[in-house]
Chains A and B, each alone.
Chain A
């Protein structure tokens, strides 16, 4: 079945540091890929998405590129802020190639803490 693997956490960075959070996936077709973020005390929010190979999703200074050859969707940000402290989840949707209802498969999530 489909699966998403995220790098182990937690991650602690200083403000303005470069961020990379690794995400790889296993799927039998061509899934859509997502990064969701959960800020402290809040619900899950979509951060960015990519629906086909070589697409780059971007939002709030974060970027991730859909790499089919390496089955990866790594999240990057050039300069993190304290307000980026949150839990980040990588996820995939198998909707298009299964013909079934949308289901999101999530990675385990990683906690990012940014120090001033």
Chain B
């Protein structure tokens, strides 16, 4: 398994500002992902964080809005830019460790409220 630490755990933000969420894993992982969970909804994949290169974004998500970095195997950041109330969500970092089943481990999430 893996222990995943996300910061901040929650924040209240003003419209138009940007916030960066950090994800630190206690062991080397093969893959890192960022998910969004909107209120009362399921999880939606935002992007795959690639080490040392640009993230791979899912349909509907763009780099200008959600820039992602992954400078090494155990750390990644997600920035939510120019926030609006529609960005109020829980943002989750998830990782895949070396396995053959495809299961992911999740951080506790960062709950953002945009006023």
Chain A residues with a Cβ under 8 A of chain B: 31-32, 34, 36, 42-46, 49, 51, 89, 93-96, 101-104, 106-109
Chain B residues with a Cβ under 8 A of chain A: 31, 33, 41-45, 48, 56, 92, 94, 96, 100-109
User: Closest residue to B106 on the A side, CB-wise?
Assistant: A44
CB < 8 Å neighbour of A104 from B41, B56, B102, B108: B102
Given contacts A44-B92, A89-B42, contact A104 B104 (CB under 8 A): yes
CB < 8 Å neighbour of A43 from B31, B33, B92, B101: B92
Say yes or no: A43 contacts B43, CB within 8 Å.
no
Say yes or no: A109 contacts B42, CB within 8 Å.
yes
* Interfacial chain A residues near B100, Cβ < 8 Å: 51
Most buried by B among A34, A45, A94, A103: A103
Contacts A/B (CB < 8 Å), 7 sampled: A43-B109, A44-B106, A49-B101, A93-B103, A104-B43, A106-B42, A106-B44
Given contacts A43-B107, A44-B106, A102-B31, contact A93 B101 (CB under 8 A): yes
Say yes or no: B106 contacts A43, CB within 8 Å.
yes
Cα distance A105–B102 in the bound complex, in angstroms: 11
* Interfacial chain B residues near A102, Cβ < 8 Å: 31, 96, 102, 104
- For the complex with contacts A32-B101, A89-B42, A102-B31, 17 further pairs of A-B residues with Cβ separation under 8 Å are A31-B102, A34-B103, A43-B92, A43-B107, A43-B108, A43-B109, A44-B92, A44-B94, A44-B109, A46-B105, A51-B101, A93-B101, A94-B102, A95-B102, A103-B48, A106-B43, A109-B41
Cα distance A46–B42 in the bound complex, in angstroms: 15
Cα distance A78–B15 in the bound complex, in angstroms: 48
Say yes or no: A103 contacts B101, CB within 8 Å.
no
User: Closest residue to A42 on the B side, CB-wise?
Assistant: B108
